[in-house]
Structure 1
């Protein structure tokens, strides 16, 4: 499950953006990072591996649906408003995502027996099985992909990815507080 609130980096992201120093040949390292992320996400291998990993019942799940399924499977049941909060998306988007999982037989929804004002959602046995398979296969894939890196390089990569995530969140929060658009 993805926990968007807990981060392991002890350093906080920078609060001001200083111009990046030019890299080799005068290239801005920021541009290189952006290009590398685009190449990664558009790579035919990435697309095919995602399709292979995120299949359920002959259908391809989106990364959002996989995140939702893994979150659902992380505990016995969720009230819909708690589930939306855990996913960090609005309730409408949570309902639409849940509806797709319901149609695939990966989730079920019912009124809360203790308080009928609430709706409870949970992963089905099939949903839990698929969630475990996705997690297992994704872990095996990443172990294979990262096998050429040393333990220290893997740690550095994880630290950098966590740092960039924190920096993006801090930037968006700062912009929202100042009224700037993202």
Structure 2
């Protein structure tokens, strides 16, 4: 857990989450289950099993730096860029668990912006990719900041209200998993 200082770009470590990776995965699975209950997985192109498998395996290649409460660090220097662990996680998952291509692509590119995806990224996976990136970020907020997340789904549209004990993270999100429309506003 950390607090970000916008004026310096530094973070202060405020806590260490026991079993943080496990909790992150469980929170992602809860968000998938909530979306399933609201009918999102009935849409063409959505595959609950692929999302669950990707959620479980997406960070197995992640390496956390050893930090202590009170440390003040530059996150750009201490934490590796997300796409490194995403690539490692995808390759490890393929080698160890023989995952299919859908799951491989979701894991490998979960830290890429949509405009950074390679030209061979299957367009049919874009709705799941968009949803996966959304729940990865929401789960990080739930896990690291104790955020409360309310997600409502209407067809291909997802509406999210995230409230955190850190007010700078409070936001409302609207996204369409088919068109890629995304709007976020701070609360």
TM-score, normalised with respect to structure 2: 0.31
Structure with greater strand share of residues: 2
- Give the number of the structure with larger relative contact order, counting CA–CA contacts within 8 Å between residues 6 or more apart: 1
Rg: which structure is higher?
1
Structure with greater helix share of residues: 1
